[in-house]
Amino acid sequence: MKKIVLKPNQIVTLNDYPLHSNAVLKEYLTKCKSGEELPLVPVIRKDVVRKYFDATLLKEFEKFEEANPKAEYFMLDGSHRTTALTLAHCNIQTIVYEKAEDIAKARKLVAKGQIRESRTLKHTLEENCEILSRHFKRKPHFMTVEQKTKKMAKEKNVPRDMINSYN
């Protein structure tokens, strides 16, 4: 398990567009602006995840890769956090799951507030990859955190004050 800092264009986001709660987004954005550290965002390297894609999804992902060569990680959880950090022009503190033991170690970080309790901690690395594959099979479209945030701002899916501070 390693902790790394990533830019919003290095992370493939989940297809939960638009976000479920602007109130939660605002809470995280306030914390970002005050310098408070947010819980780590769990990610998996794309070369691990892509092994779980069928031929059709892999073809779609390869098109995305060509246009987004810096996107090296898939996010497992943290859409509100990553969007808030991007709106605040901050990098994203992540935790990379590379092997099964990493998830077990991450569970211990919940009590310390370094990672949020989430369903991803209840699954193995392989199961998380399978979940990502099913997720993207239902909605076969890929975006980086940066692209999603820009799209939400452009389409006014976040409050005006957040858009103004982002721009």
What are the sequence ranges of the domains in the chain?
A: 2-161
What pTM did the predictor assign? 0.94
pLDDT of residue 19: 85
CB 43 within 8 A of CB 75: yes
Q: Is 142 helix (H, G, I), strand (E, B) or coil?
A: coil
Helices (H) and strands (E) in the chain, counts: 8, 5
pLDDT confidence of residue 1: 84
First to last CA, the chain: 35
- Taking CA atoms, 33 is separated from 36, 61, 82, 145, in Å, by 8, 34, 13, 18
Provide the pairing of β-strand 41-45 with 92-96.
Answer: parallel
Q: State residue 165's pLDDT score.
A: 85
Rounded to the nearest integer, the mean pLDDT of the chain is: 94
pLDDT tens per residue across span 66-93 = 999 999 999 999 999 999 999 999 999 9
> What confidence score (pLDDT) does residue 167 get?
86
Q: What is the pLDDT of residue 141?
A: 93
Give CA–CA dist 114/38, Å, rounded.
8
- What is residue 20's predicted lDDT score, i.e. its pLDDT? 82
What is the structure's pLDDT at 16? 84
Distance separating alpha carbons of residues 100 and 71, to the nearest angstrom: 23
Task: Name, in order, each residue with C-beta under 8 angstroms of 50's C-beta and a sequence gap of 6 or more.
Answer: 58, 61
Stretches where the chain sits below pLDDT 50 are none
What pLDDT is stored for residue 46 in this prediction?
A: 98
Report yes or no: 7 and 97 within 8 Å, Cβ to Cβ.
Answer: no
